[in-house]
Each structure stands twice: as C-alpha cells, then as structure tokens.
Amino acid sequence: MQLGFVIDQTRCIGCHACTVACKSENHVPVGSFRTWVKYTEVGEFPSVKRSFAVLRCNQCTDAPCVKICPTSALEKRPDGIVDVNPDHCIGCKSCMHGCPYDALYIGEDGTAEKCHFCAHRTTRGLAPACAVVCPTEAIVPGDFDDPGSVVSRMKEELGLVARKSEAGTNPNVLYREAAPAGIDPNLALGTIGSGGQIWADTHPGLDRRSEEFDAAANGAQMARSTYNVAHPALWGGKITAYLFTKSVAAGVILAAMVSGAAPFWAGPEGATLWERIGLPLVSLAFLVATSLFLVFDLKRPERFLYILLRGNFSSWLVRGTWFLVAFGGLVSAWIGVEAAGIELVPAVRIGLASATGLAAALAACYTGWLFGQAKGRVLWMRRGLFAHLIVQALVAGSAALLLYGVAFDLPAELLATTSRTLMAWLGLHAIFTLVEGRMAPRKREVEYERTHRLVSDGPFARRHWRVGVGLGIILPLLLLAVPVGTLAQPFFLAAALLALIGLYVEEDLLVRAGQALPIS
C-alpha cells in the first residue's frame, strides 16, 4: 500500500483552502506550513500568465528524511505515509535538510512536524482535510499500489509528473499539467529575486543578496515566484563552529602523527608530563567544544542521549557520533596512560596509536557523508567532500601544532617539519577548493552550479577569494616559505593564525551558501 496524492493543476484556482484546512485540522502554528500554494508568473505586462502549484510532503518511497533522522523519529508506515513520532525527536533539523521538498518544520514543542496524510482520518476511512475542503476537487488522494484506484488510473492515463525525481526519492505526489516553474525551483526566481510577493515585499529576516544575484544572473530565462512561504536557514554559527572545532580536534592528532610530533604525546624517554599529554589535552578540549555545539544546536537538547540510546544507524549523524565517542575515548586513554606513567609494550602502543589515528580521520570526514544525505542542500552533497574535510583537518591540526610548538618551545626541527607539512596540506586544500565547482552530485548539476555560483561569483565571493583563499591559503604559503632561523617563529605564528581564520571562513561559507537559495 502506498498512499499519495494527484494534484490536478488544471482545476486548482489558488484559493489556499487546502492550506487553511490543514492548519485548522493539525494545529499548524503561524509561519509554518504542511501544504501551501506557490504562485509563479511568466511574461511581461500585458501578456502575463500566472500558475499555481500545491506543494507538500511527497510521502517518498525512499524517504531521505527517514534515512537521515538519527533517532528513528521518522518512519515509513505500512500504508506508505511518512510520519513523525514527536516523543523520539530531538529537534536536530537533519530531516529538514534531508528533504528536497521543504516539507518539514520545527513545531512549537521543538520537534519536527510535517504532512502525515491526516493519518488520524485515513485510519478511519476518511479523506485528508485538504482533499475534503478543495472546492474544485484538485487534490485527489489514493493508493498508488492499487491498480484500480483513481490515482493509479490517473497516473496510467494522464502523463503525470513529479517534483525533483532526480533526487532519487520516488515521490508519491504527482501533478497533472503543473507549470514547470511551479514544481521545479531551478526554473523560477525566488520571491526576493522576483522583486517581492504580490501581498508583501519580502520574507522578513532573509538575506536578500543571494536571490538578487541569482535574479541578475538568470532572470532573463526564468519564471518569477510571486508568492511562496518562507523557509529560513536552519543551521548557522553553531554548525560552523562544530565543523571548525572538529577539524582542530581530529587534525591535531593526525598532524602530530604526520609531522613526527607523536613522541611528544606518546611518552618519549625523559619527556615531561605536559609533553606527554599536552597535545591530546588540546584535542580533547576541542572535541568537548564540538559536542557542546552539537548539543546546543538541538531544539530539544535534553534529549541528546537519544542519538546513542535510540540510534538509527542508517544516519551518518549517529555513525559520526559514535566516531566522536570512540575518538574521545581513545584520546582519553592516551592521557590516562601517560598521566599514570604506565609503560606500554611497543605492540600495544602502536595499536593504540593506529586506532586513535583512524578514529581521528573518521571523526574529521564523516560530516561529508552526513551532508551527502542532506538531499535538500545540493552544495553540501558535492563529491569528494569527505576527503576535503580530512585535508581541512590536517590544515587545522598543523596550524594548531605550530601555535602549540611556538607557545611551548618545541624543537626547531619539529617546527620546521610541521611548517612544511602545513604547506603541503594548504596546497592540497587549494586544489580541492579550486575544483569544487566541478564536483556536482550526479543528476543535480544544474542546481549545484546555480548554488556554487553564489560562492565563486556572487555575494559570498569576496569572503571566499579574499579571506578563505587569499588570507587563508596564499598568504600563509608565502609566510611559510621563509627559511627556518631566528625570525621564523613570528612567520609561523602569523601563517598558522591566518590558515585557521581562512579555514573557519570557508567552512562558514559552505554552511550558509548551501541554504541561501529556495529549494521549493
């Protein structure tokens, strides 16, 4: 059984009765929507055509929100409805990024909500409220797995289309003769880029620059959105800080191993206690900060343990959490061993070091796979992001190791080695940065190019090229090219600080630019 809708846009008059009925039936708060009507227009006065499109959850057969949800709060029911269990939701907003259709929102109690096909009605044999109230019977519910149902016959006979089928979700809301721009955001400007809505100027609080740039770049060949509902950015500074602190936490360990600094935290003969545990303590401190940023970004932070206790292992958020736990446990084990003065046999020491390095690499890169599950944010889905995150961690770790080495007077040879490895990682970071425009996920190339242009040429370009690349990559490489000598340390300090600043900016641009354009 697979319940779904056919939306007959030849009948829709754009009256919003479905939106009002849905709000009334399901107590949807002001500013949030489970179903809404989008208006698009083409042509110029006096030859203008306006079209309507009813947008909502698509009850996907392969629902990305179910896969990415870390606590199994979302489920695919036997009747095909995708529903939310609010008692399990932690308000992480991952499902909202996983959905390519903007179908979820955070309710007043801090948990995710969405269209559930009026399950409380359908289980009693009643139609969803939106279908009952529609004055033109443009909304047709039914079972697509029943070949005799009305929706199955319409699907067979009328050549229906779906929204964003390229996302691979197998949606179960199909449209009859919908205006292409109404159901494909790649064919329409956002309401801000269109010059405002027919009943208001803009959506309050949204950054205008991205849509205005997009309109200037693409306006000649695109339709105009003249009414749509607001879907503001969901992730911001806390997620940027999480990416940055995680890069430092994992990178310090990886950079110490690559640069040969591992003896200073692996217990060389005659080393002081601080030399034995200093770097792992730095790593652990940044790892704790990473965890705190993640927890405080939840709408229900008191439920954060649900990720471990009710974990959905198809979600990379859960897998990544366990990577962080394992990494933190191994680093803590190093600190405990060294603080207690325990002498490990070489085989055990090598095994513990190898496990710690592997855990650090996984902690650094898992976000690339998590972002790959965010099918609503195509910029985050770019191919090779996981590898770039490891390189970014090595940049952050090498820079932090240089700062640490200068602060605690580590040997000049070690600083020289670390500076050379930082140069190598910065070079690789530059290569990844320069080719990211060509790393679009398959079948999402148009959407990816449109979003990436915001970074390469649009409102984020100045920060990207001047700070992320110029101050964060090129200038540190020039500073690190200075020969080792009595004047080397100030250059090392400047290069390390600039590399960290540039990395933070690049990670912030990834978070913000990925949410800058409408996806519905």
pLDDT of residue 271: 65
Extract the tokens encoding 56: 């909502």
Q: Nearest CA to 57 among 6, 115, 137?
A: 115
Query: Whose structure tokens read 């603080």?
Result: 339
Q: What is the mean pLDDT of residues 221-241?
A: 92
Q: Summarize pLDDT for 184-206 with one digit per residue, the tens.
A: 999 999 888 888 788 776 666 66
At 25, which helix (H) or strand (E)? helix 17-26
Domain ranges of the chain: 3-183, 237-513
Q: Summarize pLDDT for 299-308 with one digit per residue, the tens.
A: 999 999 999 9
3-183 CATH fold: Alpha-Beta Plaits (3.30.70)
Whether 425 contacts 408, CB under 8 Å: no
pLDDT for residue 489 is more than 90: no
Relative to beta strand 35-44, strand 223-227 is antiparallel
Where is average pLDDT lowest: 111-115, 267-271, 453-457?
A: 267-271
Domain spanning 237-513: CATH superfamily: Formate dehydrogenase/DMSO reductase domain (1.20.1630.10)
pLDDT for residue 485 is more than 70: no
Cα–Cα distance measured from residue 67 to residue 373, given in angstroms and rounded to the nearest whole number: 8
Cα–Cα distance measured from residue 161 to residue 178, given in angstroms and rounded to the nearest whole number: 8
CA atoms within 13 A on the CB side of 217: 19
Whether 306 contacts 313, CB under 8 Å: no
Cα–Cα distance measured from residue 268 to residue 332, given in angstroms and rounded to the nearest whole number: 18
Q: What is the mean pLDDT of residues 96-118?
A: 97
pTM for the whole structure: 0.94
pLDDT for residue 267 is more than 50: no
Task: Give the DSSP per-residue string, 349-415.
Answer: HHHHHHHHHHHHHHHHHHHHHHHHT-TT-GGGG-TTHHHHHHHHHHHHHHHHHHHHHHHTT--HHHH
Please determine whether the domains at 3-183 and 237-513 fall in the same fold group of CATH. Answer: no
At 500, which helix (H) or strand (E)? helix 488-513
pLDDT of residue 361: 97
